[in-house]
Amino acid sequence: MKLPRDSVISERKLKEYLLSPRVEDDKSGLLAIAGYTSSHWHELEADLRNLIGEKDADLTRSTVYGDMYEVKGSLVGPNGKTLQVTTVWIRLKVNGENRFVTLVPDKEAAK
């Protein structure tokens, strides 16, 4: 199943969470390898939308808040380097909205 390309991807989530250095659960270092920075957050958003348009989403679990999905694939960053990632999404039970949650390196693809 494909997630809709108009799924919600919060600017704040990208700029203040994924692309900002953090003490715990830092993703900015991984994304910087491919050239994604807070000044390139629009490119990351577009690349995430392209990913969900191309790859199928796998239901991983259901929670009280909604169904959680994973979409695995490649992101080619602004500098041309490729990252293998697993993106996490939720379809909210309250309104059916699809929202981006996070991404992590795809450890299976790295093997």
* pLDDT tens digits for range 9-34: 999 999 999 999 998 889 999 999 99
Say how far apart CA 87 and CA 105 lie, in whole Å. Answer: 9
Radius of gyration of the chain (CA): 13
pLDDT level of residue 40 (50, 70, 90 thresholds): confident
Q: Is the pLDDT of residue 111 over 80?
A: no
* pLDDT tens digits for range 56-95: 999 999 999 999 999 999 999 999 999 999 999 999 999 9
